[in-house]
Amino acid sequence: MTLVPNPNPGERYASVLGGHNEVLYEQAGDIKQYLDAKQLKPVLVFAEKRLAAFPDVPCSKELGFEVYLPQFRCIVAKKGVSPAQIQTLTAAFEKAMQTPEWKKFNEEQYANPDSYMGGPQFKTWVEGEMKNMAAFMKEFGIIK
């Protein structure tokens, strides 16, 4: 495949919808309207298991590709924020993630409802993902 980088989501979507490109890598929730309208069809999920929303779509692991690109959202604070402030923010976000509104949003965005990671666990995960992405980018010739 030939990589066609396009940082503008609207142009990315239009390039596939208009037949200029054949494949799009995107979070399913971001293209929900096209999936619902049957204008785009998911063909692969970069995950260790299939998504419940797309039970007929294979995941990368079952096809022998150990490439996992999980969707994640995070909140960051500038350096120097006190541990007490971090704890307050963490508690507020944990509470918010238990609300019906957040759960509905997760479902609509095809997000994993059990994906919360806080504090040190998230930092460790991000560091590992950065190493994985750098290795893939080198392997595929994106960076040297």
In which band, very low, low, confident or very high, does the pLDDT at 24 lie, cut at 50, 70 and 90? very high
Assessment of whether the complete model's pTM goes beyond 0.85 = no
Q: Please report which helix (H) or strand (E) contains residue 139, including its range.
A: helix 119-139
Whether residue 40 contacts residue 23, with contact meaning beta carbons closer than 8 Å, is answered with: no
Query: What distance in Å separates the CA atoms of residue 69 and residue 129, rounded to the nearest whole number?
Result: 9
Beta-bridged to residue 72, according to DSSP, are none
Q: What is the mean pLDDT of residues 46-72?
A: 89
Domain boundaries, the chain: 1-41, 43-69, 72-144
- Half-sphere exposure of residue 84, counting CA atoms within 13 Å on the CB side? 0
Query: What distance in Å separates the CA atoms of residue 110 and residue 99, rounded to the nearest whole number?
Result: 17
Q: What is the pLDDT of residues 77-110, one digit of tens each?
A: 899 999 999 899 989 988 998 999 999 988 888 8
